[in-house]
Amino acid sequence: MAKIETRHQADVAQGDLEGFVLVRPDGSLTDEVVHVQWEDNHPAGPDTHVTVSFDDGTNVEFPFDVPVVKFRLTDLTSMTPERLRQVAPAVWGTEIGRWDEG
């Protein structure tokens, strides 16, 4: 029987990420993305940064066009830690705090 390998999906930080988990540069996975907010009032100007919010309450700010690797949770069953490290992006955003840190 042939092995079916799950394919990762490439995107950019301001792309369609809601409902996906992201692969960090070390090959670990985030919680599911629940919201992507474009930062209209960012010091670098509008349409330059997004805040990606995860189900665990963490938030990461990314500059536009930062490549990310995303998976649907259901597509992760055949992924090994080694394979996740192989597809991991080279760069990541900046952790900016949790939702519950009012």
In tens, the pLDDT along 3-17 reads: 444 567 889 999 999
Q: Is 50:56 a contact under the CB 8 Å cutoff? A: no
In a domain, 1, yes or no: no
In a domain, 3, yes or no: no
Q: What is the pLDDT of residue 1?
A: 38
Q: What is the pLDDT of residue 77?
A: 80
Q: Is 12:52 a contact under the CB 8 Å cutoff? A: no
Count of structural domains, the chain: 1
Cβ neighbours of residue 10 under 8 Å, at least 6 residues apart? 67, 68, 69, 70
The model's pTM = 0.86
Structural domain range at position 20:
9-98
In a domain, 4, yes or no: no
In a domain, 2, yes or no: no
Angle at 17 between CA 34 and CA 14, to 5 degrees: 110
Q: What is the pLDDT of residue 3?
A: 42
How many other C-beta atoms are found inside a 10 Å radius of the C-beta of residue 89? 15
Type of residue found at 101? E
Quick one: average pLDDT of 67-82?
A: 88
Quick one: average pLDDT of 63-88?
A: 90
Backbone angles phi, psi at 27, to 5 degrees: 90, -5
